[in-house]
Amino acid sequence: MAMEKAEQDRLKMEVAERALALVKPGMMVGLGSGSTATMWIRLLGEKVQRGELKLGGAIASSEDSERLGRSYGIPFTNFEETKSLDLTVDGADEVAPGLALGFALIKGGGGKLLREKIVASASKRFVVVVDESKVVEKLGRFPLPVEVIPMAEPLVRRELEGIGFTPKVRGNKDGSQYITDEGNLILDCSGVMIEDPAAMAKKLDGIVGVVEHGLFLGYAEMVLIAGEGGVRERGR
Ligand code: 5RP
């Protein structure tokens, strides 16, 4: 069901506040991307700025999130200095619970899926923050973002059409192509309800020229869902 933007923003803020409580002094944290993760980064940053929380360090899943974090004085590190992160908080475009492999997510609506998956894979706890409009029985209503090497885009597009998708190169408002932080294109793939996310991920992983796709399977340890009755917590 469609949700008013103001109501959705209120829920996003509520869930961001809940996720703030998970951050403890000294933690190495991963900063997600998107509007919900941004609310969380702002709350976290304000706490750091007020001197109420000292973090061990942070790694962001996008240049935007890193810029925002730095503006509050959050200390940044990298995977040379830091082997793993204690906690990452990130949003999602769709969340399907209850699969054998844990939560299945579609991410990448903001185009940051590659770094988001890298950060998620290096996190001991990957916590997803969503409002209840994002929770689905089956993934696929939200077009699946697939990041591709520009030169391979026509080849990858045909492969994705062969699977049944209708892929569309993501554009910016000014008509130019959207370019990821890593210099690649995004194909937004609609038209397929994903019955078996693991089998789909395997197919996508097998296409040469695909850098990464927005299926995040088994990464989320916990999903915080904001709805009418408050924030619900669902574990793996
Ligand atoms: C960016 C993402 C975002 O986390 C996802 O699109 C959700 O964003 P929002 O919180 O704005 O709804 O995956 O690549």
Is 147 in the active site?
no
Number of domains in the chain: 2
The CATH number for 166's domain is: 3.30.70.260
Domain holding 190, by residue range, is: 144-210
* Cβ of residue 30 lying under 6 Å from some atom of ligand 1: no
* Same domain, residue pair 173 and 102: no
* Same domain, residue pair 123 and 155: no
Could you tell me the distance, in angstroms and rounded to a whole number, from the CA of residue 11 to the centre of ligand 1?
Answer: 14
- List per-residue pLDDT tens for the chain, 236 residues long: 567 889 999 999 999 999 999 999 999 999 999 999 999 999 999 999 999 999 999 999 999 999 999 999 999 999 999 999 999 999 999 999 866 668 999 999 999 999 999 999 999 999 999 999 999 999 999 999 999 999 999 999 999 999 999 999 999 999 999 999 999 999 999 999 999 999 999 999 999 999 999 999 999 999 999 999 999 999 87
Question: Is 146 within 8 Å of 156 (Cβ atoms)?
Answer: yes
CA 232 to chain centre: 19
